[in-house]
Amino acid sequence: MVRTDQHSDRERELSMNPPEEVPTELANHPSYADVRFLGRGGMGVVYLARNRFLDRPEVLKVLNSSYAKDERVRQRFLREVQIAAKLHHPHVAMVFSAFPLSDRLVMAMEYVPGENLAELVRRAGLLTVQKACAFACQVAVGLQHAHDRGLVHRDIKPGNIIATERDRKKLVKIIDFGLAKAGPGQLTGHGLTQSGAGLGTPTFMAPEQARNAAGVDGRADLYSLGATLYFLLAGRPPIVGDNEYDQVIRLATEEPVAIRTLRPDVPPDVADAVAKLLQKNPAARFQDAAEVAAVLLPFARKKIVSDDSTLPTYPQSSPAFSTFPPSEETKKPDLDLRTEELHRDWYQYTEVLDTTGTSSSFFEQYGPQRAAAWKRLAEDGEPMAMLLYGRCLEDGRGMGKNEAAAVAWYRQAAERGQSYAMFSLALCLENGRGVAKDEMEAMAWYRHAAELEHAKAMINLGVCRLRLGTGGVKNEKEAVAWYRRAAELGNADGMIYLGVCLAVGKGGVKDEAAAVAWYRQAAELGQPFAMFYLAVCLEAGRGVAMDEKAAVAWYRRAAELGQASAMTGLGMCLQDGIGVAEDVAAANVWYRKAAELGDDLGLRCLIGNLKFGYGFARPDLAEATRWQAKLDALAKEQAPAPSSWRLPSSH
C-alpha cells in the first residue's frame, strides 16, 4: 500500500518513541485545527494540521526549545526560512511560514501526499532507468531554482524526496528546505542535533561536507543527487560505512562500485553522469544542476508516454490533439552543444518568467544572438526551441516582426505537448495577434496548458470561464477552482484572483478571512496588487482585525513598487491621518504619482486639493483643469467588465 505522508520515515520510530500529546498552544492555535502527531526526530516533533483559513493540510515542524533560546541560532533559522519561503517551484515543497510557540519555533510547510523515494525502492524495487532519470531531472530543476536564490539544501537523500501525483502525472518534490542551516549544530539522518555532528545524512553527503559543513556550496547537493540516483538504480548507496565515523572516512578514501557493474542496463552516458556527480573534488563534478538536468533529460523522456512518468516541465504530445506522424513526434536531436545550450536557455527563460512575471528581459538579452540557433533547433523538431524562436518572431527580437509565423511555431510546439507554447498560442488566439481572434479555441489551449500545471494558463482559463463559460455559459465554480489550483502551486497572481472571488462570493463561497489569508501570502511574495488588497482589508477591518498602521505599511510597500491604487490609498491615509501622522503635502505627492499612472481616484483627489489649495501654497485652477482633462479622457475609454478583469499577462 502506498504511504500517504512524507514524514513516514519518522513514523516508523513510533514504536520506540510513543506519540506525545499535542501542545496546548498548538491544539488551540487560532490558525490550525485537527492537529495530530506524526513523528519525532532529533530536531523536534512533526505534526499534521489543517489551516483553518486556507482549508488545507500543512506539516508543522515544532523545533526543540534550544533553537529559540539562542538568539543567534533563532535569527539564522528565521533567515533560512525567509529564503526557503521564496522558493516556488513544482519540484520543491513550499515553506509557508514560521512562528513562535511558547519557547519553541514552528515551521509550517506544504503537505505532500505520497511516499519518499527510499520507501518507493523498498516497496517496488529498483526503478527503471527512465523513471530514475526522470525523478533525478526533476530534483535537479528544483535544486537549480534554490541554488539561484542562494539556498543550499545540504541533506538531499531519497528520504527527503517525495514521489507524488498530480492529475495522474508522477512527479517528485524536495522537502525540508529551510532546515539546512537552522540549528545550533548540524544535521544527521534524523535532523538537527548537537554542535559538532556532521551536516547532512552521512550516507548521501559530499566528502567536503563531512570535512567542513559550513563551507559547502550547491555542488554538495549535486553529489547527494548523484548518490540518490545511484540508490534508485542500484538499491544501495554508493558508499556504506560500518558506522557514522567509518562512513565519513570512506567518503574521503573509497571509490564507489561503478553503477554498470551493478546495473548493466544503465546507458554509458547515464553511468558517466553518475560518476561525474560522485567525484570527490567539487571542481570535477557538474557545476550546476541545470547541466545535470540537460544531460539526463533525453534518458528521462524515452518512455515517457508509455509509462506515464511525465516531466511536467517538458510534457510530451498527446495523441488526442497531435497532428504530427509518430516518427516525427518521437524524433529527438542528438545531445550536443547546441541542445545543451538550448536547455540552459530554457531554464533561464522559465526562471526569469517565474521570478518577474514577464520574459521580456530574457529576450532583450538573448533574442538577437540566439534566434538563429533556436530556429535551427526548431526546424529539427525541438518544441522548446519552437517556443523561444516564436517569441523572437512575435516581438521582432533579432529579426523582423512576424506574428503569423510566431503563431505557426507556437502551434507546432503546442501540438507536441509544450505547455508554454500552448499558453502563448492561446494568448494570440484570444487577442487576435497573428491569427484570427478565436476565444473558444484560446480557452481550449489554456485548458491543455492548465492540465499540464501551467499556472498562468489556469488563471486565464478561470477568466475565460467567468466571461465565456462553455457555449457562452459562465461557470464561476470552475473559474474559482482553477484560481485555487494556481494559488496552491505558489502563483501569487492566482492567490489574488482566488482572494477576490472569496471576498465577493464568486463561485458560491464568500469567506473574507480566507481572502485576506491569500492576499497576505501573495503580498509576502512581493505582489503589489495583493499588498493593496491586503491594505484595504486591514484599513476597513474586512476579514481581519482593523489595523490602520499595518494598512499604511502595505499601501506604502505597494506604492513604492508602482501600484497606482496603493499610491492613492496611501495618500488618503496621509491626508486624513489614518494610521499615520497627517501630512497633506505628502499625500499630494502620492496623488500626483497615481494620477500620472491614470488612477481615477488619484486624479480626483489631486484635482480637489489643487482647486482648494489643500496641501499646496495656494489653489492652482490651471493645473487642476489639465488633470481634469486627463480624467475626462480616461472616462471616455471603455472600462473592462468586472468579470473580465485580469492582472497584466505575459509569456
The residue assigned the cell 545524512 is 201
Instruction: Report the run of H or E that residue 223 belongs to, with start and end.
Output: helix 218-234
Nearest CA to 135 out of 251, 293, 288, 271 is that of 293
Which pairs with CB-CB distance under 8 Å and at least 24 residues apart come from 577-582? 578/539, 578/548, 578/551, 578/552, 579/539, 579/547, 579/548, 579/549, 579/550, 579/551, 579/552, 580/548, 580/549, 580/552
Angle at 589 between CA 586 and CA 595, to 5 degrees: 145
Q: Give the integer Cα–Cα distance in Å for 142 and 225.
A: 11
Number of C-beta neighbours around residue 589 at 10 A: 16
3-state SS class at 284:
helix
Instruction: Report the run of H or E that residue 49 belongs to, with start and end.
Output: strand 44-51
Pairing mode, strands 56-63 and 95-101: unpaired
CB crowding 125-155: b at 16 or more within 10 Å, else e? ebbebbbbbbbbbbbbbbbbbbbbeebbbbb
Q: Give the integer Cα–Cα distance in Å for 177 and 591.
A: 42
Instruction: Report the run of H or E that residue 574 belongs to, with start and end.
Output: helix 564-576
Query: From the centroid of its chain, how far is CA 476?
Result: 26
Contacts of 526 (CB under 8 A, 6+ apart): 492, 561
Q: Do the beta carbons of residue 466 and residue 644 sit within 8 Å? A: yes
Instruction: Report the run of H or E that residue 651 belongs to, with start and end.
Output: none
Active-site residues, by number, are: 155
Number of C-beta neighbours around residue 168 at 10 A: 7
Instruction: Report the run of H or E that residue 511 belongs to, with start and end.
Output: none
Number of C-beta neighbours around residue 338 at 10 A: 16
H helices within 396-491, ranges in order? 403-415, 419-431, 439-451, 455-467, 476-488
Local structure of residue 644 (DSSP, 8 states): G
DSSP assignment string, 360-388: HHHHHHHHHHHHHHHHHHHHTT-HHHHHH
Q: Do the beta carbons of residue 492 and residue 530 sit within 8 Å? A: yes
Beta bridge partners of 58: 49, 110
3-state SS string for 238-269: CCCCCCHHHHHHHHHHCCCCCHHHHCCCCCHH
The residue assigned the cell 549535486 is 222
Residue 613 Rama label (left phi>0; alpha psi -120 to 50; beta): left
How are the residues of the chain apportioned to helix, strand and coil, as percentages rounded to the nearest 5?
55, 10, 35
Q: Do the beta carbons of residue 278 and residue 227 sit within 8 Å? A: yes
Q: Do the beta carbons of residue 459 and residue 486 sit within 8 Å? A: yes
Residue type, 203: T
CA atoms within 13 A on the CB side of 218: 20
